Structure formats: C-alpha cells, structure tokens
Amino acid sequence: MANLELKGISKYFGASQALSNIYLTVEDGEFVSLVGPSGCGKTTLLRIIAGLETASEGDVVIAGQIVNELDPAQRNVAMVFQSYALYPHKSVFENIAFPLRMQAPWFTRIPIISHLFKARRMLEAHLQERVPQTADLMHLGELLKRKPRQLSGGQRQRVALARAMVRSPQLFLMDEPLSNLDAKLRADMRAEIIELRRRLGGTFIYVTHDQSEAMTMSDRVVLMHESRIQQIGAPSELYDNPANLFVAEFIGNPKINTLTVQSSTAGELHGFGNHLQGVPEHIDGVAVPVREALSLCLRPEALRLLPTQARDAFTGRIHILENLGNEFLVIVHPIGEVENSGGDTTKPMKLVARVAATVGRLLHTGDTVHLQPDWSQALLFNQDGFRLHQATTAVLEEVRV
C-alpha cells in the first residue's frame, strides 16, 4: 500500500494532446475512480501510472519516490486489464503464480535443473501455500487446474484479480475491468471488489466510463473530459455540487435536466415555453442575472408533480412514461412550438421527473402536467457551462492548483 501523487502530467501523441497538466493526490488506502467519456485520457493516465506509457511532462510519485524512470515491475503496481490478459497456455494456478515466479531469482526459472537449487524448492513450497490462499479469496479454489479458455467471463475476471493481488502490490490499477461482463455479473463483481477491498485494504485507481460504477465504488471520483480533470470529489460532492455543466450532465442517471432559461425581471423566468413567476430571486446561491441566457439544471428528483397549476411550475405534456417498478420516469415535452432561446435546437427540449409508482400509475401519455422545481436543489450555469455559484471558482481553483 502506498500513496500516489501526479504532478503536472501531460501527454502528447504527436501533435494531439491526450493529457493536460494533471495534478492528483491519492491517499494511502483510498479508492479513486477515473471516469469520463471515451477519449478523455483516463486510460492513458492509468497507463502512465503503471509505467506502460511515459508522460511527456510531469512526475509520477509512488510512496514518495519519483518513479518516472522505473519500469512497471519495479514500480510494484498490479494492473487488471479490460481483456483480462490471462496467459492462455497457463493453468489458473500458474497464471496466479506468475508474478511470484518472476520476482524470484532468475536461476529458479531454468527448466528441470533449477529443482536442484534450494531457492526453487522453497519457491514451489511458497507457491503451494500462497496461490491457493489467494485463489480461495476469489472463490477459485476448485478451478486451479483449469485453463483460462475453460472459464466463464466472471471466473476469468477473478483470476485476473487474483493475479493482481497475489504479490501485495503498492497500487491496484484497474482498466475498465468489468466492461466485458454482462449487466448482472457486473453488479455482482462490483460488490465483490468493494468487499475484497474492505477486507484487504489497498490503494485502488479504477478507470471506468460508467459513472454509476464510479459513484458506487469509490471514495473519490476524478471526472475527466477533453484531457483535463473537470472535478475531483466524493461521489455525493460531484452529484450535488458539480463544478460545471459537463460534470452535472455526466453524473447521474437519468441525466440531469438542462433548460435554457432567461429572466426578464427578478422573480420571473422564461423557458420550456413557460413564463414562470414567483421564482426565488436567489437560485443556487446567486442572484439570478437578468436578461442573460442561463442553463438551469434540475435533477429528476428535484421536480415535483403538482395536481394544479402553480405560478412557478413548468407546464408540459407527458411524452413517455417509463415504469421502473418502484417508481416512474415521466418524460415531459413542452406544449406547442417552443423557441429555443440560444440553445441547441436539434435536441428536443424535455424534462424528466421521478415520481412514486403510486402516482405514476394514475398518469397517461398525453396528459398535461405541472412540474414544480425544488428551487433549493436547482443549479445555474452560464452559457460557457461554468457554475454561477461562488463556490465554483474555489472548486476549480482546487482542481487546477
């Protein structure tokens, strides 16, 4: 176990920039997810930490030591690959034993003759104890003699994890380890990794494009976009207090509602084909700027379905009702033609609200509904996607350092 520091990491592939000035500190024993859309640089960053790729600029510091010049084995990091990368010709036992065999002196790897050395015999004895022990942790006890091709996807994943764990590395690096599994198995493995980490401890850097994976597993989430870190924080911090519009829209499922709105006078808002009155003059901690196009963001749970019209509620028509069993998602489109003030006109304007199943069952597609925002949960961004809230600048400062 060790802590990790990234100091100003940049990476160029020819003329294109894959990473731009990345600073990150991961504490000893922390689980940090690197999350972002594909092409954001998260995998490149992980590969730089592993030593499979060298940074164009900046330092990688593991346990207080600059490791830029060290190869992956010397860094003592373990990595789990998306494709598992198991050795197809080796049994499960030998796959798990491989890192330990490689740590042993070279002469223990000479075929046949090395059995004459005491070191080889001690290594074999050690493996006979250590490998089954690690395999048992991953519920692989029965499968040690099998070849990878005889295993299911989930079992292969376990072998890959066992191979990573067996030599107690300083860092666990995981590159989308669950993305080749089906949805059910993915949820199981997710729980298993959380459980495993609780038992063994260890510092984890976990790359994923799946925000829900990042949210459920990590202590902190690093959200990346266009080769930069957009925000670093606890999952709830990113959800409740996003630094910019990209973070707000990336985190959360269903996606946060984003409306282009404008205020003509204090307490009034135009948007979604509606003219709202009696709106708080302060939203998201700032006085709502007048005569400026803004992005108003509302989580689906921050919209309340009203039985009757209210002055500060949006009125629309139910387009789709999604029954999720315990709750319904109500997808509401504005009534009539709506001029999309400055926003993206190709994207149909809609609001998604979460309602209890008891309410949802009474609704029908085509019904006219009124959605009242919980203004205390509303977020405001300017047209550049920056949060208006004062705290934003502070958060961004922290990210940029």
Partner 1 sequence: MTLVAPGRARAGIRVKSRDRPPWLIQPLYLLPAFFLLLVFFVVPALTTIGISFTDWQLGSSSIDFIGLENYRELFTDEVYRKSLINTLKLDLFVVPVSFFLALGLALAINGLNRFQGFWQTVYFLPVTTTLVAMAQVWSWILHPQFGMVAQLFKLFGLTPINWLNDQSVVLYTIGFISIWQLVGYYTVLFIAGLLNVPKDLYEAALIDGARSPWDKFCHVTWPMLGPTSLFIFIITIIKSSQIFDTVKVLTQGGPNNASEILLYTLYSEGFEFFRTGLASAIATLFFAIMLLLTLYQMRVFEKYVHYR
- Residues near partner 1, by CB under 8 A: 50-52, 71-73, 77-79, 81, 83, 85-90, 98-99, 102-103, 109, 147, 149, 163
Residue 11: alpha-carbon gap to chain centroid = 21
CB of 358 to partner 1, least distance (A): 49
CB of 83 to partner 1, least distance (A): 5
Query: Running DSSP on this structure, what letter comes out for residue 21?
Result: E
Here the tokens at position 27 are: 């504490």
CB of 105 to partner 1, least distance (A): 12
CA proximity to 231, closest of 215, 248, 216: 248
CB of 182 to partner 1, least distance (A): 21
CB of 90 to partner 1, least distance (A): 8
Q: Which residue number, 67 or 288, has a Cβ lying nearer to partner 1?
A: 67
Sheet of 379-381, strands arranged across: 257-261, 294-298, 379-381
Nearest-10 crossing angle of helices 183-200, 118-137: 120
Pick left, alpha or beta for residue 336 (phi over 0 → left; psi -120 to 50 → alpha; otherwise beta): left
Q: Which residue number, 111 or 336, has a Cβ lying nearer to partner 1?
A: 111
Q: Which residue number, 80 or 279, has a Cβ lying nearer to partner 1?
A: 80
Residue 302: alpha-carbon gap to chain centroid = 23
Residues contacting 376, CB < 8 A, separation 6+: none
Q: Which residue number, 149 or 184, has a Cβ lying nearer to partner 1?
A: 149
Q: Which residue number, 94 or 301, has a Cβ lying nearer to partner 1?
A: 94
CB of 106 to partner 1, least distance (A): 8
Q: Which residue number, 96 or 288, has a Cβ lying nearer to partner 1?
A: 96
CB of 177 to partner 1, least distance (A): 12
- Locus of tokens 């998306």: 82
Q: Which residue number, 110 or 357, has a Cβ lying nearer to partner 1?
A: 110
Q: How many angstroms separate the CA atoms of 268 and 261, rounded?
A: 10
Q: Which residues pair with 31 in a beta bridge?
A: 204
CA proximity to 225, closest of 199, 253, 249: 249
CB of 72 to partner 1, least distance (A): 4
Cis peptide leading into residue 254 (ω within 30°): yes
- Locus of tokens 């380890």: 177
Q: Which residue number, 97 or 353, has a Cβ lying nearer to partner 1?
A: 97
Instruction: Centre a 10 Å sphere on the Cβ of residue 324 and count the other Cβ atoms it contains.
Output: 11
Q: How many angstroms separate the CA atoms of 153 and 62, rounded?
A: 32
Report the residue count for the chain: 401
Here the tokens at position 38 are: 């594909």
